[in-house]
Structure formats: structure tokens, C-alpha cells
Amino acid sequence: MNSTKSKNTTNPCISICKTDPITGFCYGCARTNEEKKVWKEKSTTEKWKKENLNILIERMSGWQLETFKESYKHKTDFGVSIYQRDSNKKPQN
């Protein structure tokens, strides 16, 4: 069996999950709901994922792009996003 897991493209979700009602793009990763579905399919190729990741980066600019780059690098390096989805947590004083 060929182990290529380390070469897999990391899912671009950075746990800032809110869709813009006008563009349909996620504020965190810039994906559409359809693109999110395709990323989850086992049949989706690495080629498609890499191409889509480039498209997502082209969609972003300013603070969104900087936030994405920082968190995506952290996720690829450490396996977890800088940000967490649990919006029910109360800030610690």
C-alpha cells in the first residue's frame, strides 16, 4: 500500500464558517457550498483540490486573504486551525 497521506491537500476550512448572502462565498475560506461538498467527496482528485485552492486564494484580498494564509499555514503545519468553531464559548476574563 502506498502511503501518500502527507501529500494530500489540506481542506481549506479555517473554522470561520459564515456565508456571505450576496456572493455565496464563505468569509473564512471563500468556498461556495457546492465547493464544500466536492471537497468532502472521496472521489475528488488532488488535482481538483489544488486548482480549487488557487481559485479560492484568487477570490480573497485584504484582511480575508491575510487571515486565511496565516490560519491555513498553521493548519497545514500543526493539523488544526488557529480559530475554533465553538461560538458558545464565553470569553475568559
pLDDT tens figures, 35-75: 999 999 999 999 999 999 999 999 999 999 999 999 999 99
pLDDT tens figures, 18-33: 999 999 999 999 999 9
Supply the pLDDT for residue 93. Answer: 43
Number of domains comprising the chain: 1
Could you give the dihedral angle defined by the CA atoms of residues 32, 34, 35 and 37, in that order, rounded to the nearest 10 degrees? 130
Name the band, by pLDDT with cuts 50, 70 and 90, for residue 87: low
The residue range of the domain holding 40 is 15-68
The answer to the question of residue 76 being in a domain is no
The answer to the question of residue 84 being in a domain is no
The answer to the question of residue 62 being in a domain is yes
Could you give the dihedral angle defined by the CA atoms of residues 68, 74, 76 and 81, in that order, rounded to the nearest 10 degrees? -70
| Residue written as grid cell 459564515 | 18
Supply the pLDDT for residue 3. Answer: 42
Q: Strand, helix or coil at 75?
A: helix
Name the band, by pLDDT with cuts 50, 70 and 90, for residue 88: low
Supply the pLDDT for residue 5. Answer: 46
Q: What per-residue string of b and e applies to 23-38 under the rule 16 or more CB within 10 Å gives b?
A: eebbbbbbbeeebbee
The answer to the question of residue 73 being in a domain is no
